[in-house]
Amino acid sequence: MANHVWPVDAVSGAPEYSGRMLRQSQMAPLLAGATTARPLGARSGVRPGTPVSTVTASASTWTVKQHAGVLDVLTAAEAGPYGYAVNSDVSGSITAANATNPRRDLVYIQLEDPAESTGGTSPSVTPKYLAGTAAASPAAPALPARSMVLAEINVPAAGGGSPTVSWKAPYSAAAGGVIPVRSEAERSLITSGTPENPVLVDRLDLGILERSVASGSWQSLTGSYTGTINVPAFSLPSGAGAVSLLPGTTIAHPFSGAVLVEASLAGDAVVGANTSVKFTLAVNTANRFSWVQNFSGGTVRDTPATLVFLTVPAGVAATVYVSASDVGSGGTSATAGSLRVDYVVRPA
């Protein structure tokens, strides 16, 4: 029987359901991730809301805690997605640390289904561990077949401290739902958006929503993007010329075209004697604003809410610069503080 419907009562012994038939009719229609190549497929991932602490590591032991998810990891496109659950904690041993170099190990979920010719004697889903190769700059090992990554364990060289865990599991989503992704690289793996079936993602790294209607093309659904760059603590000698406080920090934002950047210098500065300090704020060095702030010895003053506006063309990074100089007529100008640059980025 080529086409499947569920649920119905059997009549004269038909239909008789296989696991594949039920995955195609019960799992596939409800999950995001169908593509032209895998129309009955889905996005592999743990269920949204799964804690990042689902995988833990001690000096000698890894543990995968209870959780649930979706696996579409078989070669056959018509195999359909599997739901799975780990209903009790699973633990194993971590390979001993290398004497000289760090290592990146892999913790993953692997599927076995003999009915789909995967090998093995019974269907199963198993949390597993794979040690990487120690190196000065180690790489995680390749993910085994029929598997989905859960986490990496960063194992320092012997004597370098305890292993740490980096949560790497993708998240599943309902059909038509918003897909959580933690980076641009992870988002770029999603190529199935079309005008009739757009794909929506939640950029966990930026806190914004993005939409795709064509492979490789993404549009932010957020009207603006805000952030803060802290200015490092500084010391400004008396009579000093321009001293770079922020030598050039790139503003990360989600917009692909030209943007309008609005920046302001805020926070406090402390000086030890009567003097005047000239601050300069710039975006891409092209748009500068300078002003003189007069201080009384030992006092703390909030800096002016001075704004810089600049349209940054598409393909050009928006970079912020801050400098200061002593323009007083003597006296020590040892200046420190908690300055910051607040910025807003909007499509131009």
Alpha carbon distances (Å) from 65 to 127, 162, 203: 10, 20, 25
Instruction: For 183, list phi and psi in degrees, rounded to 5.
Output: -165, 165
Could you tell me which residue, 83 or 282, shows the higher pLDDT? 83
**Tally of CA atoms within 13 A in the half-sphere of 83 that contains its CB:** 15
Q: Tell me the pLDDT tens digit for each residue of 29-70.
A: 999 999 999 999 999 999 999 999 999 999 999 999 999 999
> How far apart are the C-alpha atoms of 246 and 244, rounded to whole Å?
6
Residue 38 near residue 72, CB atoms below 8 Å: yes
Q: pLDDT value at position 306?
A: 56
211: closest CA among 220, 184, 223? 220
Residue 309 near residue 262, CB atoms below 8 Å: yes
Other C-beta atoms closer than 10 Å to the C-beta of 66 total 12
The owner of tokens 């209607």 is 213
Instruction: For 20, list phi and psi in degrees, rounded to 5.
Output: -60, -40
Residue 86 near residue 79, CB atoms below 8 Å: no
Q: Tell me the pLDDT tens digit for each residue of 195-246.
A: 999 999 998 887 888 889 888 888 888 778 888 888 887 777 666 677 787 8
Token reading at 331: 């006296």
> How far apart are the C-alpha atoms of 2 and 55, rounded to whole Å?
41
The owner of tokens 């002016």 is 304
Q: pLDDT value at position 296?
A: 46
Q: Tell me the pLDDT tens digit for each residue of 176-194.
A: 999 999 988 899 899 999 9
> How far apart are the C-alpha atoms of 27 and 31, rounded to whole Å?
7
Confidence of residue 297 (pLDDT cuts 50, 70, 90): very low
Distance of CA 145 to the CA centre of its chain: 25
Token reading at 237: 């000698």
Taken in order 276, 282, 286, 291, the sign of the CA dihedral is negative
Identify the DSSP state of 30.
Answer: G
For residue 19, the surrounding DSSP H or E stretch is helix 19-22
331: closest CA among 225, 226, 240? 240
Query: 225-347 sits in which CATH class?
Result: mainly beta
> How far apart are the C-alpha atoms of 20 and 116, rounded to whole Å?
9
Helix (H, G, I), strand (E, B) or coil at 23: helix
pTM of this structure: 0.71
